[in-house]
A and B are shown apart, each in its own frame.
Chain A
Amino acid sequence: DGGITQSPKYLFRKEGQNVTLSCEQNLNHDAMYWYRQDPGQGLRLIYYSQIVNDFQKGDIAEGYSVSREKKESFPLTVTSAQKNPTAFYLCASNPPAGEVTGELFFGEGSRLTVL
């Protein structure tokens, strides 16, 4: 079945460590996104990519980095520079690049906890 796979579902990190969250999609979508969700708040955009080898910062990109080397993959690295990284991270995609296309398809999320 087509969809978006995020891993790991749960991740614990010590302060000062970088961690990478995986996001893979087999929907053949051009655009991919990373959102952060905190309790009682809406989803906030971290980074997005509309095409391979290109990505843009969202509203809260500080302390995060991404890459888009393949159409199917859009990993997110939470660096030690992110001051409050404990959150629920959601990856999403939609087709195709450059147009208003409608709904986002989301993965099941990764919950990161900093100890």
Chain B
Amino acid sequence: SQKIEQNSEALNIQEGKTATLTCNYTNYSPAYLQWYRQDPGRGPVFLLLIRENEKEKRKERLKVTFDTTLKQSLFHITASQPADSATYLCALQYSASKIIFGSGTRLSIRP
């Protein structure tokens, strides 16, 4: 069965630095790879989607890469701020209904 691993349960970095989160998967590549942000006690909020034929996607301070050879996606937040502290979820989408989520990485940005 498909497995998703997000690099670590928690990541702590200094404000202003670039946060890099990793999502690795096994088996076959998805059509889409998505990243969500989840704050404590809230529902996830969609951030970015990248297609399997795309290498990189950017949105403001966010950048996502997708390497189907390595079976890995990297999620970067540049110029990180304490407000970026949250749990970030990686999700593999194979069809409209088949979306598999990782367990998330809890990111903390210290001032």
Whether chains A and B associate is: yes
CA distance A4 to B43 in the complex (A): 10
Cβ contact within 8 Å between A42 and B46: no
Cβ contact within 8 Å between B44 and A90: yes
| CB nearest neighbor in B for A45 | B99
Interfacial chain A residues near B100, Cβ < 8 Å? 42
Interfacial chain B residues near A94, Cβ < 8 Å? 96
Asked if A104 is at the interface of the complex by the 8 Å CB criterion, the answer is yes
Closest CB in chain B relative to A39 CB, distance in Å: 9
Which of the candidate stretches A61-69, A70-78, A79-87, A106-114 sits at the interface with the other chain? A106-114
CB interface residues, B 75-108, toward A, < 8 Å: 89, 91, 93, 95-97, 99-104
Asked if A60 is at the interface of the complex by the 8 Å CB criterion, the answer is no
Cβ contact within 8 Å between A109 and B96: no
- How does the 8 Å CB contact mask read for A83-107 relative to B, with 1 for contact and 0 for none? 0000000101010011111111111
Interface residue ranges, A against B (CB under 8 Å): 4, 6, 31, 33, 35, 40-45, 48, 50, 56, 90, 92, 94, 97-109, 111
Interface residue ranges, B against A (CB under 8 Å): 4, 9, 31-32, 34, 36, 41-46, 49, 89, 91, 93, 95-97, 99-104
